[in-house]
Amino acid sequence: MTELSPDELLRYSRHIVMPEITLAGQQTLMASSVLCVGAGGLGSPVCLYLAAAGIGRLGLVEFDTIDLSNIQRQVLYDTRDVGQPKLDTAHARLSQLNPHVQIDAHALRLAADNVMPLVKQYDVIVDGSDNFATRYLVNDAAVLSGKPLVHASVFRFEGQITVFDSPRGPCYRCLFPEPPPAELVPSCAEGGVLGMLPGIIGSMQALEVVKLILGLGEPLVGRLLLFDGLSAQWRELPAQRAPDCALCGQSPTIHEPTDLPAASWADGAPRISASELAGLLNAGEAPTVIDVREPQEYAIAAIPDSKLLPLMELSIHAASLDPGKPYILTCHRGGRSLKAFEQLRAAGFSNLQVLDGGIDAWAEQIDPEMRRY
């Protein structure tokens, strides 16, 4: 164990005075390593608290740049950082916060061929990602390399957190054997999230990491904790291992991480560009434009004469549309309109196009006065 310098003793004194931690516990934290996948809403508090706590080596996986719409919840970054790579800013910020922590910056998109060597370098893995492809990869790599995984996700006013540490408890695939169809699960960008939610849940993740490293208390292994911010209620669900889990069950069929197939619903949707649509509208020849965003988004900005039918209610209102007529589907940036495309195509609509880049592309290319968000 490395000796603490007088500065470090002072820095960590509020840990060291606790009988559950002491000097030995702090030295254990300083000798430990944690990999945080994603440095966004959840990753921000996770990294800030773990760096502050003096974790020896903190790995970050991230490839995004900072967008102004991130700042409302991703507290690692501030307004001056917009446009910068998240990883560079996070590295600088965390090094300032605690220069004793080694920050490993992994500027990459996790995939089947790079996840195992990465996970193996760390004691504990934290999932702060925002998509199922990454969540399954991280879960599979964590189980296959025997590392505990602190898993969490947030949506609007809700959050959930658990620790996967098979065989002590279930893994992600025990609960959700297969990824859900993408159109059923809105992302933060689509569904929205109150900034405090990742703050609360990410702080819980950092706490679970410290408990795992120090062997303290009762980790959230086999316990799924759900938080509803609106009712301010926590509920705990015991979660068991699935004997037939394809990854950690009795006869596993998954022996290495594999990439999820690219979303099939995104294939084959005919696209129309903002300028093509503007041309059709000017000539009075455009089909009806259906905007599948939420009313509160539509109120900020909308394409003239477009019809608002939020994606969540699309199945209800599809009856008011004529499957034989042409329609152009749009949303904020193009994600939801693809889901709407798949829904309507399955319902028998045959003449659909999707506005490439959504209303954001329209604002950029056609209407510079339009408000963007």
Partner 1 sequence: MAVRIVFFASLREQLACSSLDWEGRSPQETVASLREKLAREQFPESGAVLLADTVLAAVNQVMAQPEQAVADGDEVAFFPPVTGG
SS (H, E, C) the chain: CCCCCHHHHHHCHHHHCCCCCHHHHHHHHHCCEEEEECCCCCHHHHHHHHHHHCCCEEEEECCCECCHHHCCCCCCCCHHHCCCEHHHHHHHHHHHHCCCCEEEEECCCCCCCCHHHHHCCCCEEEECCCCHHHHHHHHHHHHHCCCCEEEEEEEECEEEEEEECCCCCCCHHHHCCCCCCHHHCCCHHHHCECCHHHHHHHHHHHHHHHHHHHCCCCCCECEEEEEECCCCEEEEEECCCCCCCCCCCCCCCCCCCCCCCCCHHHCCCCEECHHHHHHHHHCCCCCEEEECCCHHHHCCCCCCCCEECCHHHHHHHHHHCCCCCCEEEECCCCHHHHHHHHHHHHCCCCCEEEECCHHHHHHHHCCCCCCCC
113 binds partner 1 (CB under 8 A): no
Which one of 38-46, 213-221, 334-342, 364-372 is the stretch in contact with partner 1 (CB under 8 A)? 38-46
43 binds partner 1 (CB under 8 A): yes
Cα distance between residue 340 and residue 314, in whole Å: 7
Q: Has 174 been annotated as catalytic? A: no
331 binds partner 1 (CB under 8 A): no
72 binds partner 1 (CB under 8 A): no
Q: Binding pattern to partner 1, positions 214-253, x when CB under 8 A?
A: ------------x-x------xxxxxx-------------
At 88, list the tokens. 């560079």
Catalytic residue among 174, 188, 245, 248: 188
Which one of 16-24, 49-57, 154-162, 297-305 is the stretch in contact with partner 1 (CB under 8 A)? 154-162
312 binds partner 1 (CB under 8 A): yes
203 binds partner 1 (CB under 8 A): no
Q: Has 36 been annotated as catalytic? A: no
Query: 187 or 288: whose CB is closer to partner 1?
Result: 187
153 binds partner 1 (CB under 8 A): yes
41 binds partner 1 (CB under 8 A): yes
Which one of 89-97, 126-134, 270-278, 330-338 is the stretch in contact with partner 1 (CB under 8 A)? 126-134
Query: 194 or 214: whose CB is closer to partner 1?
Result: 194
Catalytic residue among 47, 245, 248, 331: 331
187 binds partner 1 (CB under 8 A): yes
Which one of 105-113, 177-185, 334-342, 359-367 is the stretch in contact with partner 1 (CB under 8 A)? 177-185
Give min distance, CB of 75 to partner 1, in A. Answer: 14
Give me the residues that bind partner 1 (CB under 8 A), please: 38, 40-43, 127-132, 135, 152-156, 158, 160, 175-181, 184-188, 191, 193, 198, 226, 228, 235-240, 312-313, 315-316
Q: Give me the active site residues, please.
A: 188, 331
